């Protein structure tokens, strides 16, 4: 995969999965040039000389429940950043810089869930939806990119009652003209 870039999002809104959230003073490691650019300056557009690159963006942990999620949110926040909190829903990203490997992020989330205190674990277990959502930015190159999620990771996710989804973000239609 391409080179890893690090930048600080000092007080700027962070765009993630269509959400715009404040994440002040967060240092975020990304290997995706498009994600880097959008997160550091979402008002910018791609220059004609830049070619969109297919890349891993992040893994969100999405939780939905008819029960109160506050104990889960409070327990997760030292380890994961909360992206949104509409009633009955929560989405998280790990606080550590995201590696270019979704399996590593999923395993970190599994570790965090396994260490939840009883009230937070009860909220987790009561949730109707617990999904590790792997975000990929589509691109014109490389021709293909593969990410392996091993059997042990699949088993670990299943043991805590989570599923795995993949979300692929389309290129900006304006890019078709370049």
Assess if residue 166 is contained within a domain: yes
Which residue range is the domain that position 126 belongs to? 49-177
Question: Quick check: is 42 in a domain?
Answer: no
Residue 109 lies in a domain: yes
Comparing C-alpha atoms, which of 82, 101, 109 is closest to residue 14? 82
Give dist(CA 117, CA 128) in Å, integer. Answer: 19
Compute how many other C-beta atoms are within 10 angstroms of the C-beta atom of residue 63: 22
How many domains in the chain? 1
The reply to whether 169 falls in a domain is: yes
Query: Tell me: the pLDDT tens digits for 117-156?
Result: 999 999 999 999 999 999 999 888 888 888 999 999 999 9
Instruction: Specify if 95 maps to a domain.
Output: yes
Looking at the whole model, is its pTM more than 0.75?
Answer: no
Whether 91 is covered by a domain: the verdict is yes
SS3 assignment, position 48? coil
Residues 167 and 136: beta-carbon distance below 8 Å: yes
State the SS3 of 148-159: CCCHHHHHHHHH
User: Is 79 a member of any domain?
Assistant: yes
Kindly give the pairing relationship between strand 13-16 and strand 19-22.
antiparallel
Look up residue 102 and give its two tokens: 């979704």
> Would you say residue 9 lies in a domain?
no
Alpha-carbon gap, residue 140 to 144, rounded angstroms: 9
Q: What is the pLDDT of residues 5-35, one digit of tens each?
A: 222 222 222 333 433 333 333 333 345 554 5
């Amino acid at each position: 995969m391409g080179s890893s870039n690090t930048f600080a999002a000092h007080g700027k809104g962070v765009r993630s999965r269509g959400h715009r959230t404040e994440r002040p003073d967060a240092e975020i490691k990304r290997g995706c040039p498009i994600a880097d650019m959008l997160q550091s300056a979402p008002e910018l557009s791609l220059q004609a000389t830049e070619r969109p690159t297919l890349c891993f963006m992040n893994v969100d942990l999405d939780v939905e429940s008819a029960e109160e999620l506050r104990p889960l949110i409070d327990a997760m926040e030292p380890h994961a950043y909360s992206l949104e909190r509409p009633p009955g829903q929560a989405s998280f990203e790990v606080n550590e810089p995201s590696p270019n490997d979704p399996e590593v992020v999923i395993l970190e989330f599994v570790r965090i869930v396994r260490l939840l205190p009883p009230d937070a674990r009860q909220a987790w277990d009561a949730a109707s939806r617990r999904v590790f959502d792997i975000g990929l930015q589509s691109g014109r190159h490389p021709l293909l990119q593969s990410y392996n999620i091993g059997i042990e990771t699949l088993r670990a996710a299943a043991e805590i009652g989570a599923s795995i989804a993949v979300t692929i973000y389309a290129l900006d239609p304006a890019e078709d003209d370049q």
